[in-house]
């Protein structure tokens, strides 16, 4: 297990280095000039002297590799720089927005579990029956609809027609419902069918039939043994698709005016606030890799055979 942690931490360093190169390069290749944006050249007359002075103040007149090395040097000290538009440190700006994004992500994860686990287990318990047919329809709809379309339908039905929930805002539980359901709906469809498939495969194994022959209750076989084995592929896909929650939060936060990191990143892109965009991408990359590390550790706790197969030590 310790060997696995070391390997994942090394992977974290390598991936973040590559991500920093890609992020920095894309920001430099992106259309628009942050200097002209700051000077509001489209609204007032700007002289070349004003432009050159601000470019020198921001360090944008130096060679690209010098700018990258300086940015990386600051990044290693957890200094993400300052926002070009707001003037606040990027880390402080992200810290202000992070709680709202974590709240929305946890809400989407809760909706996914509340929908996927019962539907997947009922479909496995009654294969070919009504729960299984309803699960198939749910999976088809959930996997086919884009995230923004789910959000728009939620707004139209529950906010515009029924007027049960507001369309935007952040504070009470009523503002929290529609964004969370919209974020977790599509992922729930995928994980419900995956859990069903894993449960059916587990229930067909020899040790399940042996347990039934020994008189073990069907309840214990279903929840204690079959469900535990079926969770391994679910955990695998969850670790791979956790980035969908992060990426989906950008769409949902923009759609519902949710004051999180995703809406902050969209605003920063339109305002050419490159330090803020770079900080957001680096934070998301590190977060996704850490989640994958946690999932790998859960593997070892959940099934010792995986820990032994990876050659780790407890």
| Cβ partners under 8 Å of residue 4, min gap 6 | 296, 297, 300, 307, 310, 312
Q: What is the pLDDT of residue 304?
A: 57
| Cβ partners under 8 Å of residue 23, min gap 6 | 277, 278, 281, 282
C-alpha to C-alpha distance for 135 and 131, rounded to whole angstroms = 6
Burial per residue of 112-144, b for 16 or more beta-carbon CB atoms within 10 angstroms, e otherwise = beebbbebbbbbbbeeeeebbeebeebbeebee
Q: The whole model's pTM is what?
A: 0.76
Q: What is the pLDDT of residue 41?
A: 47
Q: What is the pLDDT of residue 313?
A: 41
The structure tokens 């079959």 sit at 226
The dihedral over CA atoms of 214, 220, 221, 226, expressed in degrees to the nearest 10, equals -150
Q: What is the pLDDT of residue 172?
A: 74
pLDDT tens digit at each of 314 positions of the chain:
667 667 777 877 888 888 888 888 877 777 767 777 677 645 556 677 777 777 777 777 788 888 888 888 888 888 888 888 777 888 888 888 888 888 888 888 888 888 888 888 888 888 888 888 888 888 888 878 888 888 888 888 888 888 888 877 777 778 888 888 888 887 888 888 888 888 788 777 777 778 777 777 777 777 777 777 777 777 777 766 776 677 777 888 888 888 888 888 888 888 788 888 888 888 888 787 777 777 777 766 655 555 545 444 43
C-alpha to C-alpha distance for 112 and 304, rounded to whole angstroms = 27
C-alpha to C-alpha distance for 265 and 284, rounded to whole angstroms = 11
Check: CB of residue 33 under 8 Å from CB of residue 273.
no
Q: What is the pLDDT of residue 195?
A: 83
Burial grade of 14 (CB within 10 A; 0-12, 13-18, 19 or more) = exposed
Q: What is the pLDDT of residue 302?
A: 57
């Amino acid at each position: 297990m310790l060997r696995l942690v070391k390997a994942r931490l090394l992977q974290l360093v390598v991936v973040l280095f590559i991500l920093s190169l890609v992020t920095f390069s894309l920001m430099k290749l992106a259309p628009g000039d942050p200097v002209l944006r700051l000077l509001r050249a489209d609204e007032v007359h700007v002289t070349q002297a004003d432009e050159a002075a601000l470019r020198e103040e921001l360090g944008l007149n130096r060679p690209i590799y010098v700018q990258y090395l300086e940015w990386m040097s600051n990044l290693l000290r957890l200094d993400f720089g300052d926002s070009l538009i707001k003037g606040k440190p990027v880390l402080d700006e992200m810290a202000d927005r992070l709680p709202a994004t974590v709240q929305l992500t946890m809400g989407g994860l809760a909706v996914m579990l509340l929908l996927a686990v019962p539907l997947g287990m009922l479909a496995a318990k009654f294969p070919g029956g009504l729960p299984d047919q309803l699960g198939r329809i749910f999976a088809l709809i959930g996997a086919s609809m884009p995230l923004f379309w789910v959000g728009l339908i939620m707004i139209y039905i529950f906010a515009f027609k029924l007027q049960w929930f507001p369309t935007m805002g952040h504070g009470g539980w009523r503002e929290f419902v529609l964004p969370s359901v919209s974020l977790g709906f599509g992922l729930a469809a995928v994980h419900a069918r995956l859990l069903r498939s894993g449960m059916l495969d587990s229930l067909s194994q020899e040790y399940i039939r042996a347990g039934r022959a020994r008189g073990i209750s069907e309840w214990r076989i279903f929840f204690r043994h079959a469900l535990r084995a079926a969770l391994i592929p679910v955990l695998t896909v969850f670790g791979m698709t956790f980035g969908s929650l992060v990426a989906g939060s950008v769409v949902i936060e923009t759609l519902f005016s949710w004051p999180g990191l995703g809406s902050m990143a969209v605003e920063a892109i339109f305002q050419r606030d490159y330090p803020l965009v770079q900080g957001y991408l680096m934070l998301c990359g590190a977060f996704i890799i850490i989640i994958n590390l946690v999932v790998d550790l859960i593997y070892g706790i959940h099934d010792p055979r995986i820990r032994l197969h990876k050659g780790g030590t407890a």
